[in-house]
Amino acid sequence: MARSNEPAVWSLFAAGGALTALVLPIHVLLFVFLVPFGVLAGDPDALLAFLRHPLFRLYAFVLCCLGLVHAAHRLRFTLVDLGLHGLAVPIAWICYLGAVLGTVVALYAVIVL
């Protein structure tokens, strides 16, 4: 048997999983609960300036992109393992196309917003 080239894809999947698990809950806590509900009061203009900084835009894009790759890969194999073996090919297409679409939306968002 020959060594697989799967590591190229898997490292993206693993990076997405690690990044999502580590930092996404922090963002949800900050921007879905603490900031909107006024628990963390601060200067809104300063926050907006921070969020619009090119480095934060790049970071947000990488986070979305890798998170989507992870989700697509995980969902694909979970569905197949749950018994949808016959639909393995369409499931793979739908999952990865979803991730690509999400990445395009994320790219649009970080450039325009």
Partner 1 sequence: MAEETIVLRVQRYRPEQDSDPYFQDYEVPYRKDWVVLDALNWIKEYKDGTLSFRWSCRMGVCGSCGMMVNGRPRLTCNTFLREFYPNPITVEPLVNFDIERDLVICMDTFLEKLKKVKPWIIRREVKSPEEGPYNQTPAQLYRYKQFSMCINCMLCYAACPVVGMHPEFLGPAALALGVRYLLDSRDQGWNERMEEVGSHEGVWGCTFVGECSEVCPKHVDPAAAIQQGKVLATLDWFKRWLMPWGQK
Contacts with partner 1, residue ranges (CB under 8 A): 1-8, 10-11, 14, 77-78, 80-81, 85
Q: Closest approach of Cβ 54 to partner 1, in Å?
A: 28
- Rg (alpha carbons) of the chain, rounded to whole number: 17
Please check whether residue 16 is in contact with residue 67, taking contact to mean a CB–CB distance below 8 angstroms.
Answer: yes
Q: Which is nearer to partner 1, 5 or 55 (CB)?
A: 5
Nearer to partner 1, 99 or 110 (CB): 99
Nearer to partner 1, 5 or 26 (CB): 5
Shortest Å, Cβ 53 to partner 1: 31
Chain CA centroid to CA 87, Å: 25
The answer to whether 75 and 95 are in contact (CB under 8 A) is: yes
* Contact call for residues 83 and 105 (beta carbons, < 8 A): no
Instruction: Supply the minimum distance, in Å, between the C-beta of residue 48 and partner 1.
Output: 39
